[in-house]
Amino acid sequence: MNRSPYITQAPSVTTIMLKVLLALLPGIAAYVWIFGGGILVTLTLASITALASEAILLKWRDRPIKPFLMDGSALVTAWLLALALPPLAPWWLVVVGTLFAIVIAKQLYGGLGYNPFNPAMIGYAVLLISFPAIMTKWPAPLLLAQTPLGFSDQLHFIFAGALPNGVLVDAITSATPLDYLKTQLGLHHQVQAITQAPIFGVLGGKGGEWVTGAYLLGGLYLIQQRIISWHLPSAFLAALALMAGVFYLLDPAHFANPAFHLLSGATMLCAFFIITDPISGPTTPLGKLIFAAGIGILTYLIRVYGGYPDGVAFSVLLFNIAVPLIDAYTQPRVYGHAK
């Protein structure tokens, strides 16, 4: 083979994906601590579904199975989807969502490297539209629940949908802080009064803010490892904070403060793990800033004015469509060319 360069030095695709999984671990740990071990079941379920469906699709498509299963990209999709789902999602919900993400959003577009949309977000959006009731019903953090469920109870609930005798569904679930805020604002309550409710913590949702914080930690690790570039999370968080800040300053009674938005919902997961998916994102530095800032602004608008409590999935998918355009218009100046 006659080709240079003869030397390379790069982390393999597998290494990159494994580091992303590694960076998710603090967030998962916090999740288990706050919401119980049920998430581990969901993660396992999603992982198995993802790997199995990926393998079957690869075989159908006559592609080599081993290198593509080993690349770890299916696991990343599975984990991100699982972490975006409510902690006690029934097993079939996890399976359907993962199948959609891997089969439709990834393999049917050509597999690794060819999917225009973020597969995890496709899976999430499909579930959110198809099963809105389940998707917006989150269990209260363990320390708030009237009757906290043990691990075996959670397992039972996930697979059989049944609760221990005498426990009502309403007793273990509640609206998420973002959802609650929206509903209560609709009832003409003031933000200050609403956030006195027990589900709100110091800055974000009670408990949830710890999980978000742990995601931030993992994200910083990814930036330090040069797996993701700083452009995306910074622009996303800055745009979200700016939007929240402007609205908050204009009318603090009806708009939550920026810190709440930064630490609620899927903000940090989105900033460091979802919009940083390289395949469905832009490649130019300026393009990354525009893409991420656009998602930040859109996420805020959907949270405040949209029909769904959190707008991350839809914002990401909408901007995925715009990626080729963004890339085309943000080409950096090439050496020796005038701008």
Partner 1 sequence: MLANLFKSSKLSSFNGGVHPPQHKLESTRAPISVLTIKNAQQVFVLPLRQHVGKVSKLLVNVGDHVLKGQLLANADGQMSAAVHAPTSGTIVSVQDQLIPHPSGLPDIAITLQADGEDRWVEHHAMDYRSVSKREVLERLREGGVVGLGGATFPSHVKLREEAKHPVDTLILNGAECEPFITCDDLLMRERAEEIVRGIEIMQYLLNTKECIIGIEDNKPEAAQAMRDAASKSQILIAVVVVPTVYPSGGARQLIKILTGKEAPSGKRSTDIGIQCFNVATAYTVHRLVNHGEPVISRIVTVTGKVARPGNYDVPLGLAVGELVALAGGAVENTEYIMGGPMMGFTLPSNHVPVVKAMNCIIVGKPEIFPEPPPAMPCIRCARCADACPVSLQPQELYWFAKSDNFEKARDYKLFDCIECGCCTYVCPSNIPLVQYYRYAKSEIIALDKAKQAADIARERNEFRLHRIEREKQERAQKHAQKAAGAKTESAKLEAAPADAATKAEEAKKAALAAAIERAKVQKAEIAPKNTEEVSPQIQADIAAIEARRAEAGLAEVAPQDENN
Partner 2 sequence: MIGLAVLLGMVLGYAALKFKVDGDPLVARIDAILPQTQCGQCGFPGCKPYATAIANGEADINQCPPGGDAGVHALADLLGVEYKPLNAENGVPKPKSVAVIDENICIGCTLCIQACPVDAILGAAKHMHTVIASECTGCELCLAPCPVDCIAMLPIAESPDNWKWKYPVFEIKVVNS
Footprint of partner 2 (CB under 8 A): 1, 3, 59, 62-65, 67
Map the footprint of partner 1 across residues 103-122, applying CB under 8 A.
Answer: 111-114
In 3D space, the residue among 20, 74, 71, 21 whose CA is nearest the CA of residue 222 turns out to be: 20
3-state helix/strand/coil string of 43-68 = HHHHHHHHHHHHHHHHHHCCCCHHHH
Which of 11, 132, 198, 252 lies at the binding interface for partner 1 (CB under 8 A)? 11
* Shortest Å distance, C-beta 66 to partner 1: 11
207 three-state secondary structure: coil
- Interface with partner 1 includes 336 (CB under 8 A)? yes
CA distance linking residue 115 with residue 51, whole number of Å: 17
Nearer to partner 1, 31 or 319 (CB): 319
Tally of CB atoms within 10 A around 251? 9
- Interface with partner 1 includes 332 (CB under 8 A)? yes
* Shortest Å distance, C-beta 70 to partner 2: 13
Task: Kindly write down the DSSP assignment for every residue of 288-327, as one continuous string.
Answer: HHHHHHHHHHHHHHHHHHSSSS--HHHHHHHHHHHHHHHH
Q: Mask: binding to partner 1, 122-161, rule CB under 8 A, as x and -?
A: ----------------------------------------
Which of 29, 44, 67, 185 lies at the binding interface for partner 1 (CB under 8 A)? 67
Nearer to partner 1, 3 or 188 (CB): 3
Nearer to partner 2, 63 or 189 (CB): 63
CA-CA-CA-CA torsion sign (317, 201, 26, 35): negative
Long-range pairs for 245-250: beta carbons < 8 A, 24 or more residues apart = 247/300, 247/304
Q: How far is CA 11 from CA 22, 76, 110, 213, in A?
A: 15, 17, 23, 27
- Interface with partner 1 includes 224 (CB under 8 A)? no
Listed ranges 120-128, 179-187, 212-220, 329-337: which one lies at the site for partner 1 (CB under 8 A): 329-337
Which of 109, 197, 283, 286 lies at the binding interface for partner 1 (CB under 8 A)? 283
Nearer to partner 2, 1 or 338 (CB): 1
Nearer to partner 1, 19 or 182 (CB): 19
Contacts of 189 (CB under 8 A, 6+ apart): none
CA distance linking residue 233 with residue 267, whole number of Å: 10
- Interface with partner 1 includes 4 (CB under 8 A)? yes
- Interface with partner 1 includes 10 (CB under 8 A)? yes
- Interface with partner 1 includes 13 (CB under 8 A)? yes
The one of partner 2, partner 1, none whose footprint includes residue 59, by CB under 5 to 8 A per kind, is partner 2
Size of the site for partner 1 (CB under 8 A): 36
Tokens of 160: 């059989």
Nearer to partner 2, 55 or 167 (CB): 55
CA distance linking residue 252 with residue 260, whole number of Å: 12
Phi, psi of 139, rounded to the nearest 5 degrees: -70, 145
CA distance linking residue 266 with residue 211, whole number of Å: 10
Which of 38, 218, 281, 311 lies at the binding interface for partner 1 (CB under 8 A)? 281
Residues that bind partner 1 in the complex, under the rule CB under 8 A:
1-13, 15-16, 67, 71, 73, 111-114, 229, 278-279, 281, 283-284, 327, 331-337
